[in-house]
């Protein structure tokens, strides 16, 4: 209990969140395999989008980082290690490490490119010959979660930079012929309200999954949610303590799934069926096929299975494909319903 009270600000427990299963599943799967490519959460105001995203970050196990490194470098994994740490390893310098909470970085709407990517001190570079870099939010988000609320209102140029970094795992800053690059591997989570405008289709396609959330209509469930929130506001530590075991259970499931992920297989015939669904739905490119395969493996690992089955694919495929369908302004059918219809015809 004392350990819980040491937190600077109590966070609503992830396992205490009622409903919104689509959003919760998409976030868990992206945490198990960040290469899925992030989540776009679209839904009404006041449906717990921000609460859920902060809750998943708080739930995650601590990560080991190299001490005094501004990029949260991993001490053993080259993909998430800065060039400076690589040099230290090559020079056989012993690294000191520490365990920290998974970084959770908020990107404010008015952020500039410098704030996002970081800046190079040109004066210092020219006068002293030192590459001096002031890290941006991408550096802070390495090995963590980068959350963009109202992503549909963010400048397209910044969204491009975000998606490029999320896809490549690196951020490069160039100025006056000086170039600095650093690891930027993070789970990108965007949220927005469709009433305030949609993202451009080519940007939307770059998000691995797309969760749609609606306001709960059932009165008894609404009361349950209100009571749960009121209980937390009155005594957050009592609420956190009440869900401690459930939180721990989920944390262990995620850790186990991360370890198991590389051993999970998908049968060739099932891969063909996934691609057949993408083809029938006229999904542009192959990103839909790749993400569906990845998400199905992550979901199977989450259930402690060695092989993906049809039910696993059925559970995650709508999340992976609904935002990749071509929009027809005259179409009255929801894109999620379209996906489900084809899935039920192909996966029998």
From first to last of the 348 residues of the chain, give the pLDDT tens digit.
444 454 567 889 999 998 889 999 999 999 999 889 899 998 887 788 888 988 998 888 888 888 888 888 888 887 788 888 888 888 888 888 889 888 899 998 888 888 999 888 776 656 665 667 888 999 999 999 999 988 888 888 888 888 888 888 888 888 777 788 888 989 899 888 877 777 777 778 788 999 988 888 888 888 988 898 998 989 999 999 999 999 999 999 999 999 999 999 999 999 999 999 999 998 888 999 999 999 999 999 999 999 999 999 999 999 999 888 877 655 545 677 888 888 888 887
At 271, list the tokens: 């891969």
Fold annotation for 17-213: Rossmann fold (3.40.50)
pTM: 0.87
At 86, list the tokens: 């690589």
Query: Please, which residues bridge with residue 118 across strands?
Result: 135
The residue assigned the tokens 């937190």 is 7
> What stretch(es) of the chain map to CATH 3.40.50.300?
17-213
Exposure of 70 by Cβ count < 10 A (0-12 exposed, 13-18 middle, 19+ buried)? middle
CA separation, residue 223 to residues 42, 48, 227 (Å) = 23, 15, 6
The residue assigned the tokens 């949610």 is 225
- The class of domain 264-346 in CATH terms is mainly alpha
Annotated active-site residue 287? The verdict is yes
> What stretch(es) of the chain map to CATH 1.10.8.80?
264-346
C-alpha–C-alpha distance, residues 58 and 125, integer Å: 38
Exposure of 64 by Cβ count < 10 A (0-12 exposed, 13-18 middle, 19+ buried)? middle
The residue assigned the tokens 């192959």 is 286
Which of 54, 185, 206, 287 is the catalytic position? 287
């Amino acid at each position: 209990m004392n350990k819980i009270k040491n937190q600077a600000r109590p966070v609503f427990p992830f396992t205490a969140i009622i409903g919104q299963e689509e959003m919760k599943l998409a976030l868990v799967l992206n945490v198990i395999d960040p290469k899925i490519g992030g989540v776009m959460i679209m839904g009404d105001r006041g449906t717990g989008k921000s609460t859920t995203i902060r809750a998943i970050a708080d739930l995650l196990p601590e990560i080991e980082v190299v001490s005094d490194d501004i990029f949260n470098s991993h001490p053993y994994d080259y993909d998430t290690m800065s060039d400076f740490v690589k040099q230290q390893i090559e020079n056989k310098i012993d690294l000191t490490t520490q365990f920290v909470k998974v970084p959770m970085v908020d990107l404010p709407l008015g952020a500039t490119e410098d704030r996002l990517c970081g800046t190079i001190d040109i004066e210092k570079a020219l006068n002293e010959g030192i590459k001096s870099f002031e890290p941006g939010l991408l550096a802070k988000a390495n090995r963590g979660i980068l959350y963009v609320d109202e992503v549909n209102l963010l400048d397209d140029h910044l969204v491009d930079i975000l998606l490029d970094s999320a896809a490549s795992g690196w951020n490069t800053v160039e100025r006056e012929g000086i170039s600095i690059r650093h690891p930027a591997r993070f789970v990108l989570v965007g949220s927005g309200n469709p009433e305030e405008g949609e993202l451009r289709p080519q940007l939307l396609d770059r998000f691995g999954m797309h969760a749609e959330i609606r306001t709960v209509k059932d009165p008894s469930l609404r009361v349950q949610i209100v009571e749960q929130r009121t209980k937390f506001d009155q005594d957050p530590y009592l609420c956190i303590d009440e869900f401690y075991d459930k939180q721990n259970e989920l944390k262990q499931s995620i850790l186990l799934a991360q370890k198991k992920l590389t051993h999970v297989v998908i049968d060739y015939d099932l891969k063909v069926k996934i691609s057949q669904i993408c083809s029938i739905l006229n999904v542009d490119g192959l990103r839909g096929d790749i993400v569906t395969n990845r998400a199905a493996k992550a979901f199977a690992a989450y259930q402690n299975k060695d092989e993906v089955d049809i039910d696993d694919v059925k559970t995650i495929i709508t999340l992976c494909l609904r935002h990749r369908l071509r929009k027809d302004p005259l179409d009255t059918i929801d894109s999620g319903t379209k996906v489900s219809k084809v899935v039920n015809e192909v996966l029998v």
